[in-house]
């Protein structure tokens, strides 16, 4: 992941094998509708105008990770606003649709941290009118003034997580503790490993295993990480961010690099699976809610953000979807089983070894070039 000042579509935290738009599956929840109480308009120059009517449905464009019928139904019950939800499988698919003008019906999007900044540079996002929001002060300090959007001026964080390994405890015992496990056991794990199809995450993991920063700009360090990945490449079954889950469950794979939102969800139904955050450190990512400038129903969008910021609703979503919430009041309402889950909510001792993925400037091209070599090795 990197921050660019041009509209070129780039690899991301959740990149799929191609940049073409993924097939979009619509989820419509038919519920009663009612008007929202009027609220003050956004006076900023780049904010969308408030709609004349407030009984239109709210169109949301989001990850499958967040598409939960119970959460949507809860919103409709509370507000009377119907939700129509479309799914994208990569930040780039969402961005491509917005740039092509095909996303004019959406009033809420869920970009990842780096994509928020890219969309800002492309002038796609409305300024958030904080006077229409309730609960920004509930955010943990880490998310009060994020690097990707100072002061949450254009986005509101909704979830966060880490990157690590998930594995089958019945087939790997002892299991991995750090990134080097894949290299140390590559003969036994031959063709039973998948790594993320994401250059900054996967090269970042190799950098971390060598004692370097996820965000290194040193050519020598980046090349050393790439060489290390080339050593592992013959044992890697595929570079996949998603789509490997059934093969891990069925025993065709033993070790997969993944994001914690998947790593914590799968073991709920398959207790033989376990997710670990590597001891040498990992990345910390954030997904956020934004209102595009083309939003047809910004009033309903503010209602959605406020709904998701209410502690009881945020806690409900965490229980349903198994993501970490940046909302401290919501965290306090969670059952101890979730609050004490250090894979879902790692402590400061773990987070202190982790890094957000940051801009690498001119080194971006080197990452891209070496990633092509790694993939084809």
Question: In this predicted model, what pLDDT tens digit does every residue of 299-352 receive, in sequence order?
Answer: 999 999 999 999 999 999 999 888 999 999 999 999 999 999 999 999 899 999
pLDDT number for residue 13: 38
Q: How many residues does the chain have?
A: 377
Share of the chain above pLDDT 70, in %: 85
Nearest residue to 201 via CA among 243, 182, 229: 229
Q: How far apart are CA 4 and CA 210, in angstroms?
A: 27
pLDDT at 21: 31
Residue 17 has pLDDT above 70, yes or no: no
Strand partners, 324: 160
Higher local confidence (pLDDT), 114 or 214? 214
Place of tokens 């590559």: 186
pLDDT for residue 361 is more than 80: no
Q: 2 versus 142: which is more confidently predicted? A: 142
- Residue 112 DSSP symbol: B
Is pLDDT of 254 > 80? Answer: yes
Q: Is residue 3 within 8 Å of residue 117, measured between CB atoms?
A: yes
58, 84, 210, 233 from 161: Cα distances, Å: 27, 26, 23, 26
pLDDT beyond 70 at 9: no
* Residue 288's pLDDT band (cuts 50, 70, 90): very high
With CA atoms as reference, report the closest residue to 338 among 315, 358, 307. 315
Return mean pLDDT, the chain.
Answer: 85
* Fold equal for 26-160+285-346 and 162-284+353-376: yes
Q: Which helix (H) or strand (E) holds 84?
A: strand 83-88
- 83-88 and 26-29: which strand pairing? antiparallel
Residue 76 pLDDT > 80, yes or no? yes
* Distant-in-sequence, close-in-space partners of 140: CB < 8 Å, separation ≥ 6: 326, 327, 328, 331
Structure confidence at residue 202 (pLDDT): 94
Q: Where are the domains of the chain?
A: 26-160+285-346, 162-284+353-376
In this predicted model, what pLDDT tens digit does every residue of 182-235 receive, in sequence order? 999 999 999 999 999 888 889 999 999 999 999 999 999 999 999 999 999 999
Looking at the predicted structure, is the pLDDT value of residue 25 above 50? no
| Predicted TM-score (pTM) of this structure | 0.76
Is residue 239 scored above 80 in pLDDT?
yes
Mean pLDDT (whole number) for 364-375: 92
Alpha helices in the chain (DSSP H): 69-79, 91-99, 113-121, 181-184, 199-209, 219-232, 245-249, 260-263, 266-269, 298-309, 311-321, 328-333, 336-339, 348-351, 364-376
Q: What pLDDT score was predicted for residue 242?
A: 82
User: What is the structure's pLDDT at 231?
Assistant: 97
Instruction: Name the CA radius of gyration of the chain, rounded.
Output: 21
Token digits of residue 84? 């129509």
pLDDT at res. 54:
52
- For 264-285, the pLDDT digits (tens) are 989 989 999 999 999 999 999 9
CA separation for the pair 9, 351 (Å, rounded): 29
Q: Residue 103 pLDDT more than 50? A: yes
Domain 162-284+353-376 in this protein, CATH class: alpha beta
Give the span between the Cα atoms of 342 and 339, in whole angstroms.
8
Joined tokens for residue 245: 């889950």
Judged against a pLDDT cut of 80, whether residue 372 lies above it is answered with yes
Q: Which CATH number fits domain 26-160+285-346: 3.40.190.10, 3.90.1170.50, 3.40.1260.10, 3.30.200.20?
A: 3.40.190.10
């Amino acid at each position: 992941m990197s921050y660019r000042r041009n509209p070129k579509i780039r690899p991301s935290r959740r990149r799929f094998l191609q940049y073409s738009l993924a097939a979009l599956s619509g989820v419509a929840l038919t519920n009663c509708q009612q008007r929202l109480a009027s609220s003050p308009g956004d006076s900023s120059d780049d904010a969308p105008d408030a709609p004349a009517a407030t009984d239109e449905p709210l169109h949301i464009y989001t990850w499958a990770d967040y598409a939960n019928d119970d959460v949507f139904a809860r919103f409709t019950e509370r507000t009377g606003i119907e939700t129509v939800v479309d799914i994208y499988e990569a930040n780039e698919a969402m961005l491509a649709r917005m740039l092509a003008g095909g996303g004019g019906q959406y009033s809420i999007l869920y970009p990842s941290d780096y994509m928020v900044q890219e969309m800002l540079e492309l002038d796609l996002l409305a300024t958030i009118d904080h006077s229409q929001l309730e609960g920004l002060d509930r955010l943990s300090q880490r998310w009060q003034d994020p690097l990707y959007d100072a002061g949450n001026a254009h986005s509101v964080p909704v979830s966060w997580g880490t990157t690590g390994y998930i594995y089958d405890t019945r087939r790997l015992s002892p299991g991995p503790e750090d990134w080097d496990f894949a290299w140390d056991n590559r003969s036994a794990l031959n063709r039973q490993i998948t790594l993320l199809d994401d250059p900054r995450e996967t090269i970042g993991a190799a950098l971390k295993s060598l004692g370097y920063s996820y965000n290194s700009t040193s050519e020598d360090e980046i090349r050393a990480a790439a060489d290390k990945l080339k050593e592992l490449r013959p044992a890697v079954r595929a570079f996949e961010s998603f789509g490997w889950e059934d093969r891990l469950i069925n025993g065709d794979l033993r070790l997969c690099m993944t994001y914690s939102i998947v790593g914590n969800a799968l073991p709920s139904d398959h207790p033989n699976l376990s997710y670990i955050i590597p001891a040498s450190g990992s990345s910390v990512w954030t997904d956020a809610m934004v209102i595009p400038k083309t939003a047809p129903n910004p009033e309903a969008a503010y209602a959605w953000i406020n709904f998701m910021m209410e502690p009881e609703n945020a806690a409900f979503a965490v229980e349903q979807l198994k993501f970490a919430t940046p909302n401290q009041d919501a965290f306090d309402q969670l059952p101890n089983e979730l609050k004490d889950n250090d894979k879902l909510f790692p402590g400061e001792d773990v987070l202190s070894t982790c890094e957000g993925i940051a801009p690498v400037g001119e080194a971006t091209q080197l990452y891209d070039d070496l990633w092509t070599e790694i993939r084809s090795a």
